[in-house]
Amino acid sequence: MKIALMMENSQAGKNAMVAAELNTVAGDLGHDVFNVGMTNENDHHLTYIHLGIMASILLNSKAVDFVVAGCGTGQGAMMSLNLHPGVVCGYCLEPSDAFLFNQINNGNALALAFAKGFGWAGELNVRYMFEKAFTGERGQGYPIERAAPQQQNAGILNEVKAAVAKTSLIDSLKAIDQSLVKTAVGSTQFQACFFDNCKDSEIAAYVKSLID
């Protein structure tokens, strides 16, 4: 699995610690981690609005399989990511949230709170959330006797979102302020992750047009 980590400006100072914990957990499980920013407070400036755009491009192009995002409360990142087609983002404050999202909702992104409630031993909580998010087979249900309806409902939710978001990813991105999209795809870390792994030539051409 390819996993992208993205953090906005208010919590960029925690990026190195979060990236280290994610790499420790995901790397040991054989996953590839791409830290697409912000890597520190002086890095390419991002808000949680940009995170949604970045996640949608990376996931819909299949450049990555999963996104870990976050902001101060995690709420803005979750709302921003869930605006976009092809992104199913859960909200995660502690390890059981990650486990239940993994097993019941089986989405492709998580939004974490990197300020609210992030106190002593916060790095341990992050590590344990990652362990529950990426360990074992996904979508098995919990409790197990509820697996069938949970799997059915997760599929229905994806169908409903696809029906509501009728426009293509590129059309939806073109409908918003292009300066937002240009900023979202502007960092060297994002571009390396995207262009090295993108499997959709149309999305690649659109992103390239913004950079050029």
Q: Which domains, ranges and CATH numbers included, belong to the chain? A: 2-211 (3.40.1400.10)
Contacts of 8 (CB under 8 A, 6+ apart): 38, 46, 47, 48, 50, 51, 70, 71, 76, 77
Cα separation, 203 vs 33, whole angstroms: 21
pLDDT tens digits for range 70-122: 999 999 999 999 999 999 999 999 999 999 999 999 999 999 999 999 989 99
Q: Mean pLDDT of all residues in the chain?
A: 95
Q: For the whole prediction, is pTM greater than 0.85?
A: yes
Task: Output the six-digit token pair for 42.
Answer: 């002086």
Report the pLDDT averaged over residues 178-183: 97
